[in-house]
Structure 1
């Protein structure tokens, strides 16, 4: 810019000087004494000729100056300015600029070399940025692994997974839909806002997520690609977003769920985002799924597939504390197989194991998603009923009792037998201290059911144990 300014100044000075000289010459020639009148016309004609020649020469000089100025600008000044701007672009981190230098060959060579330097620097910078993203992803994954080792609840682990995926991709929304083994039944639905009701999800194999569900491939979509002016509508989640990236969560070759991020904070999702999320999700879900399997082994009864006694005690403690904190309802059932020792002595322990598995299956089929069943020990089972009062607990207990009593159980061969159970139930009251007291109340109700002839359900309420027909 300084060089251009100086050349402009010089050019203006030259033109102004010539114009001033022409003006002075004009004044001089028109004020010279002409002498004898007879020579007037000849002298005047000679002076005008000199003046016209001077004007023509001055015009040519001015034109030459302007032409030289333009050549200097095009061949020297413009390339120098272009070359001087380019380093500043690199300093500012703008590597996409291109040098377009014309003129002297040396300048073109210099521009080509500078462009090569810029392209090389951009390539190295992009490589470093990608490696930094990989390192960032590994650091986030490492933090997630550390959290997993200290937590056993699947939904809480998934919530942490969601938060870290959202942070990794820098999106405005993130969610995980986890499936039950070997099915598309939703086991957990967790968003960045918290653990949601799985019933809110209504996935269809031919719906919005058909590609990740059927082909186990990522789905990346922007509202511009759907010809929508404002958003993409996802009916399965009752959600509207401007863009979305969904990747399948695979474990042992099977689809275990979907991870989706939406509303990218800057721009839209690209192939790099997809690659980063796929890599992070794959590694994280392998660890989460393996942790879930190990946890299930530690918390599940190997024979019936229900939760074991240890897990029952932990869960009941949590539910009692939640009930007391929020003033909710909570009930507990304890179920005992009638004459099970006699049955084992008659048919053998192998047949007894079949009965335990059959009853566990019936219990699982009658429960809600929020209920919790466990093998309490031996031939006893326990069922935790959150958000359930005394009367509804009695109705549920009686339904379970009748279902078991009316279901023929197949033994080895074609022989079928009928089994009955006795059930004791109790509900949290204002004076219930802790889980141990709730268990004791249900136990006392079960003891009454046994003493009154078995094959019945009895409840504990207001310091009394009694039997009632809940049909």
Structure 2
């Protein structure tokens, strides 16, 4: 099902002018001008002998022929120029549509992060690269704290705003080489290339603190307090498989959530 963001993008694409239609209109206009010009020349030549001398009439004929020849040259040059311009415009138009469709295919419209599909593709690629070149790789799997209570208390509209806010925080905090994605529901993931476990844990702590300080939504008189729990796994220390690496991060995330529920710990990162 298309989201509101995707529907807006599709409507914007459909509203763009079609270069082929513009080309047809231009060609019709040139043809109309040509027909009117030929009609005017023929009418002048046919009606002129009654009130012109032979020399003037021959001059008019020559002028008509030259004018028509000039028009023919103009049409030829215009057609070539118009064809090139329209082809360029059409190619640019297709490239823009292609880019928008790629964005729709790989981006989550609510948070602006990459989606689940893109994350899996990049994780497999980064794990393979990590093993091939002997470079460390880390994965952060995050889950929002008490998100069900937020939805139940404030409604799903506020819940969506909270998800969007967390997505913005993640985008601002990670590096350009990192890949942030919405994993599903209230879960997020970040791929950290060339990152060891200690640096990954520090990044997880930074993200947790940034989300906690970004709780700035105020429906009515109440502020919504946000928080995330984070599970961290590294390659090749924890696993050399993309699926297993994600499983380790998920298990550590589960341990953090379980510890918070039974009150044995307050750490948000493991």
Same fold flag (TM > 0.5):
yes
SS at structure 1 position matched to 2:269: strand
Structure 1 residues 285 and 430, CA gap change in structure 2 (3 angstroms): farther
TM-score with structure 1 setting the length: 0.37
Please tell me whether residue 396 in structure 1 is matched to residue 209 in structure 2.
Answer: no
Q: CA deviation at 1:411?
A: 3.7
| Change in CA separation of 1:408 and 1:290 when aligned onto 2, cut-off 3 Å | same
Contact 2:140–2:191 (Cα < 8 Å) also in 1: yes
Query: Per the alignment, do residues 321 and 279 of structure 1 end up closer, same or farther by CA in structure 2, a change over 3 Å counting?
Result: farther
Is the CA contact (8 Å cut-off) linking 1:330 and 1:386 kept in structure 2? Answer: yes
Q: Of Structure 1 and Structure 2, which has the larger fraction of its residues in strand? A: 1
Distance, in Å, in 2 between the alignment partners of 1:418 and 1:429 is: 36
More helix by percentage = 2
- Cα distance in 2 for residues equivalent to 1:432 and 1:325: 14
By how many angstroms is 1:299 displaced?
Answer: 1.4
RMSD between aligned residues? 2.5
Give the conservation status (yes or no) of the 8 Å contact 2:218–2:224.
yes
Q: Is 1:347 matched with 2:158? A: no
Q: 1:431 to 1:374 in 2, by over 3 A?
A: closer
- Write out per-residue CA displacement over residues 159-194 of structure 1, whole angstroms, 9 at most, x where no aligned residue: xxxxxxxxxxxxxxxxxxxxxxxxxxxxxxxxxxxx
**CA separation of 1:430 and 1:408: change in aligned 2, threshold 3 A:** closer
Pairs within 5 Å for 1:230-309: 283-309=90-116
**In the aligned structure 1, how far is the partner of 2:158 from the partner of 2:164?**
10
State the alpha-carbon separation in 2 of the partners of residues 431 and 409 from structure 1.
36
- 1:400, CA displacement in angstroms? 0.5
Does residue 379 of the first structure (1) align with residue 190 of the second (2)?
A: no
Aligned to 1:365: 172
- Residues 338, 430 of structure 1: CA spacing in aligned structure 2 closer, same or farther, 3 A cutoff? closer
1:328 pairs with one of 135, 145, 168 = 135
Alpha-carbon distance in structure 1 between the residues aligned to 2:187 and 2:238: 26
Query: Residues 432, 408 of structure 1: CA spacing in aligned structure 2 closer, same or farther, 3 A cutoff?
Result: closer
Q: For each residue in 1:179-230, what CA deviation from the matched residue of structure 2 results, as whole angstroms up to 9, or x when unmatched?
A: xxxxxxxxxxxxxxxxxxxxxxxxxxxxxxxxxxxxxxxxxxxxxxxxxxxx
Extract unaligned runs of 5+ from structure 2: 1-75
User: 1:401 is paired with a residue of what secondary structure?
Assistant: helix
Q: Which of 248, 264, 267 does residue 456 from structure 1 map onto? A: 267
Match of 1:409 in 2: 216
Whole-angstrom distance in 2 between the partners of 1:280 and 1:371 = 38
Are 1:338 and 2:145 an aligned pair?
Answer: yes
Over 3 Å counting, the alpha-carbon distance change for 1:283 and 1:422 in structure 2 is same
Q: Which has the higher contact order (CA 8 A, sep 6+)?
A: 2
**1:407 CA drift (Å):** 2.2
* CA shift digits 1:50-100 (9 cap, x unpaired): xxxxxxxxxxxxxxxxxxxxxxxxxxxxxxxxxxxxxxxxxxxxxxxxxxx
**Where has structure 1 moved over 6 Å in runs of 4 or more?**
278-281
1:342-390 alpha-carbon deviations (Å, 9 max, x no partner):
1211111111111000111111110111111111111100011111111
> What are the within-5 Å matches in structure 2 for residues 48-59 of structure 1?
none
User: 1:333·1:426 contact (CA, 8 Å) conserved in 2?
Assistant: yes
What secondary structure sits across from 1:427 in the alignment?
strand
Determine if contact 1:331/1:390 at 8 Å carries over to the other structure.
yes
* Matches of 1:328 and 1:341, distance apart in 2: 38
Structure 1 residue runs of 5 or longer lacking an equivalent are 1-126, 139-275, 460-471
User: How far 1:436 moved relative to its partner?
Assistant: 0.1
Tell me the matched-pair count: 187
